[in-house]
Amino acid sequence: MSTAINVICLDRPGMLRDIAGTVAKRGGNIVYTQQFVVERGMNQGKASVYMEIDCPSEDVSGIVEELHDLKSILEVSIHKPFEKIYGSRVIIIGGGAQVAQVAVGAVSEADRHNLRGERISVDTIPLVGEDAIADAVSAVRRLPRAGILVLAGALMGGRITEEMKKLQAEGIPVIALRMAGSVPEQADLVVTDPIQAGTFAVMHIASTAVFNICRVQGRVF
């Protein structure tokens, strides 16, 4: 069972070690974590440490009690994991106008599936330039719950294609708009209409849809 715990603590060295040690002592396995400073102070600020933990439900209360006992911890709260709240993610990268149109299709289709109880979220970033887009594509590999990437633009290739190949090798498919450059040649699916591209992307990761990109891999629509 996966449970999310958020800890508000003093921002000091070794805090993450102390929290992780407490979780491990109780048999919990941290499967995802993120931390950031929420308040900066002259001497010592506050930080937020969010963790998703695999452990028996009866052990969660014990972990929370032990975390409360640590001197530097100010607050501990239990939440649903991000998978239950935001679900799988459609990532859209490229030119502003094209990204916006892909997002229209993706959000509309995601709404249809989320009304049935699924959780699909849509993340976008408009970017210009080969290096900026290539860095963003590379970063998709480090994003949790990323299910599919849509590349939306008029011209993409070079480093972008190389980073896209690495992404595909890790099991994340790529839909590309019909454009100039080498990206369409490497993409799993090429779609002319950006709204349809967003729709296809959501349908691929939705458990309530029958569409699977593997069935039309290499096709152009």
Give the domain range for residue 61.
Answer: 2-82
pTM more than 0.75? yes
Residue 1 is predicted with a pLDDT of 63
The reply to whether 115 and 208 lie within a common domain is: yes
Distance CA 11, CA 19 (A): 12
Type of residue numbered 140: V
Could you list the beta-strand ranges (E) of 11-119. Answer: 29-39, 46-54, 73-79, 88-94
In a domain, 182, yes or no: yes
pLDDT digits (tens, 9 = 90+) for 164-201: 999 999 999 999 999 999 999 999 999 999 999 999 99
For position 152, which CATH number holds? 3.40.50.10550
The reply to whether 133 and 170 lie within a common domain is: yes
Q: Which parts of the chain sit beneath pLDDT 50?
A: none
Element (H, E) at 128: none
Residue 42 is predicted with a pLDDT of 66
Nearest to 32 by CA among 122, 146, 120: 146
By CB atoms closer than 10 A (0-12, 13-18, 19+), residue 50 is: middle
The reply to whether 118 and 198 lie within a common domain is: yes
The reply to whether 69 and 124 lie within a common domain is: no
Domain total in the chain = 2
DSSP labels, 66-77: HHHHSTTEEEEE
Answer with the one of 23, 56, 82 that is the final residue of a domain.
82
Distance CA 101, CA 104 (A): 5
**Tokens 């860095």 -> residue:** 135
The reply to whether 148 and 67 lie within a common domain is: no
Residue 102 is predicted with a pLDDT of 96
Structure tokens at 43: 């001497």
